[in-house]
Chain A
Amino acid sequence: MASIVFDQVCVDFPIYNASARSLKKRLFQVATGGQISANASGRVIIRAIEDLTLTIKNGDRVGLLGHNGAGKSTLLRLLSGVYEPSSGRAEIKGEIGSLIDVSFGIDPEASGRENIYLRGALLGLTRADIKAKLEEIIDFSELGDFIDMPVRTYSSGMHLRLAFSVSTIIRPEILLMDEWLSVGDEGFRVRAEARMNELVESTHILVIASHSRELIRETCNRAIWLEHGKIKMDGTPEDVTQAYFGH
């Protein structure tokens, strides 16, 4: 039973300019009796998420809408546990699978096979898990002998096929995505859609950020509109997309 509870969560990014970054300079200020205050050290704070209170239950498929810079990616990162709240409380129960960037961690000099182990390890799979699924991943990607070639020899489509095949092997309780994964040529895309649906069906909570009205209406049963780090609207996909897109 997965669940996510946020209570007055804030995410504040401190922006350190050169004078705060260097310890030597701080000692120098103390030695000469200079004023040490937040203003003097010139620290600017960017508040990315403000007083977010939210509960996501088992079975929720949430779509995140908002303009660029509204806080969607930051919220996804908060959900995945990359950022812990600067203030407030966040309780996330359940195994998390983050498909925010499917080709993250791929080493272009290593072979496709080695990269499957690498990407799999980053996603949380052990070598034994990966070995068991290795044939399935290679077959799905249809890369053939190229699987033993360095990834730098792949076309960008092949690269995405590899990334997609290994990334969609996970079966997390909470799945986080930044835009729907739609990769490959016509032939691959049909199988990819089926695989994505299989993955989404197997999860308990889905949170996906998107700019596509159709996607949110088709895939989600709840939509949240973020603006400047705050929730502007939280309701059914029909209502929120109607308000956000205007039709």
Chain B
Amino acid sequence: MSKQTTAGAVQDITSAIKRFSLIGTLGWQDVRQRYRRSSIGAFWLTISMGVMIATIGIVFGQIFKSPMDEFLPFLSAGLILWSFISTIITEGCSGFIAGEAVIKQLPIPLSVHIFRVIWRNLIILAHNVVIFPLVLIAVQKAPTWDVLMAIPGLLLLAVNLSWIAIFLGVICTRYRDIPQIVSSFLQVVFYLTPIMWLPSLLPSRAGAYLLDLNPFYHFIQIVRAPLLDQEPSLENWLVSIGLAVIGWIMTLALFGRYRRRIAYWL
């Protein structure tokens, strides 16, 4: 029984991946719809992110007495990545709910709706990431080719976010209160994760708990560290890979078990 349902989940996900054309089209449509008839279009996202980075950077940089050339790139990378992570998780919760009309009408693999969320947010990330080189120029630092090492980190991050989004999507379709809980949880995690504050500012004992036990710290580090000319630690990689494996096993089991019920829950 459980082997069959897991096979069903795997089949849904592989057929969804084959429909990459549909996912691409729907993701682009989502972004275009938001910015129809506006001249700057999706780069409004870039501008608003840029304004936030400048404001927080200048104010909190002064408060923490951190050198600007260290703090600003750290903050920009962190905020851009956090926006990517938290939006995928939040939108993933309502991924199936948002696709209700399509799910009840056309036989499309269910994971398409979650991959659409991820693709759409990758497009938005591509718009936001434009800020980072600008920040580097502003603090007079030059990017090296090592920033390309952020790409494998980004792929691993996307793999982790995929299972989180599918897992939450299934639960939230049945229990409509969970999106609120997730949203509150993410707000708290934002403050517990070194995005607005440098990890070096943390006293070492508290640091051990706050950083090592926080999966989001590891997720952000594998992408942010190469961008800052640093290397993610072995621990960052191990935790991210480990969570990906455990997470996907859990998600395939849950998705497999309840996949057929999702259309009935909507």
Asked whether A110 and B105 contact (CB < 8 A) given A13-B264, A82-B263, A83-B263, the answer is no
Contact between B176 and A83 (Cβ–Cβ < 8 Å)?
A: no
Interface positions, chain A 79-101, Cβ under 8 Å from B, are 80-84, 86, 96, 98, 100-101
Give A contacts to B, CB under 8 Å.
12-14, 16, 21-24, 77, 80-84, 86, 96, 98, 100-101, 104-105, 107, 109-110, 117-118, 121-124, 126-127
Contact between B178 and A23 (Cβ–Cβ < 8 Å)?
A: yes
Q: Which residue of B lies closest to A150 (CB)?
A: B36
The one of A14, A16, A110, A122 that contacts B106, using a Cβ cutoff of 8 Å: A122
Contact between B106 and A121 (Cβ–Cβ < 8 Å)?
A: no
Contact between B263 and A104 (Cβ–Cβ < 8 Å)?
A: no
Contact between B178 and A122 (Cβ–Cβ < 8 Å)?
A: no
Across-interface contacts of B22 in A (CB, < 8 A): 121-122, 124
Asked whether A100 and B21 contact (CB < 8 A) given A23-B175, A84-B260, the answer is no
Contact between A110 and B29 (Cβ–Cβ < 8 Å)?
A: yes
Interface residue B17 (Cβ < 8 Å from any Cβ of A): no
Interface residue B26 (Cβ < 8 Å from any Cβ of A): yes
Contact between A80 and B176 (Cβ–Cβ < 8 Å)?
A: no
- The residue among B21, B26, B101, B178 with the most chain A CB atoms within 10 A of its own CB is B21
Q: Which residue of A lies closest to B108 (CB)?
A: A122
Distance of A122 Cα from B24 Cα, bound (Å): 11
Q: B interface, by DSSP: helix, strand, loop or mixed?
A: helix
Q: Which residue of B lies closest to A12 (CB)?
A: B264
Closest Cβ of chain B to A8, distance in Å, is 16
Across-interface contacts of A105 in B (CB, < 8 A): 102, 106
Interface residue B103 (Cβ < 8 Å from any Cβ of A): yes
Contact between A104 and B105 (Cβ–Cβ < 8 Å)?
A: yes
Contact between B264 and A82 (Cβ–Cβ < 8 Å)?
A: no
Contact between A83 and B264 (Cβ–Cβ < 8 Å)?
A: yes
Contact between B33 and A109 (Cβ–Cβ < 8 Å)?
A: yes
Distance of A16 Cα from B21 Cα, bound (Å): 35
Interface residue B32 (Cβ < 8 Å from any Cβ of A): yes
Contact residues on B (Cβ < 8 Å of other chain), bracket: 20 to 34
Closest 5 CB pairs of A and B: A81-B107, A23-B175, A121-B22, A84-B260, A121-B25
Distance of A118 Cα from B116 Cα, bound (Å): 14
The one of B32, B107, B175 that contacts A82, using a Cβ cutoff of 8 Å: B107
Contact between A98 and B106 (Cβ–Cβ < 8 Å)?
A: yes
Distance of A117 Cα from B21 Cα, bound (Å): 10
Closest Cβ of chain A to B170, distance in Å, is 13
Across-interface contacts of A80 in B (CB, < 8 A): 106-107
The one of A96, A101, A109 that contacts B107, using a Cβ cutoff of 8 Å: A96
- The residue among A21, A22, A121 with the most chain B CB atoms within 10 A of its own CB is A121
Across-interface contacts of A123 in B (CB, < 8 A): 106
Across-interface contacts of A22 in B (CB, < 8 A): 175-177
Asked whether A82 and B25 contact (CB < 8 A) given A14-B264, A21-B175, the answer is no
Closest Cβ of chain A to B71, distance in Å, is 40
Interface residue B141 (Cβ < 8 Å from any Cβ of A): no
Distance of A96 Cα from B19 Cα, bound (Å): 15
Across-interface contacts of A12 in B (CB, < 8 A): 264
Q: Which residue of B lies closest to A109 (CB)?
A: B36
Q: Which residue of B lies closest to A21 (CB)?
A: B176
Distance of A159 Cα from B103 Cα, bound (Å): 23
Given A80-B107, A82-B104, A122-B106, 10 more contacts at CB 8 Å?
A13-B264, A16-B265, A24-B177, A81-B107, A86-B264, A96-B107, A98-B107, A110-B32, A118-B26, A121-B25
Contact between B33 and A107 (Cβ–Cβ < 8 Å)?
A: yes
Across-interface contacts of B264 in A (CB, < 8 A): 12-14, 83, 86
Contact between A107 and B260 (Cβ–Cβ < 8 Å)?
A: no
Q: Which residue of B lies closest to A128 (CB)?
A: B21
Closest Cβ of chain B to A153, distance in Å, is 14
Q: Which residue of B lies closest to A85 (CB)?
A: B260
Across-interface contacts of B260 in A (CB, < 8 A): 84
Closest Cβ of chain B to A90, distance in Å, is 11
Q: Which residue of B lies closest to A101 (CB)?
A: B105
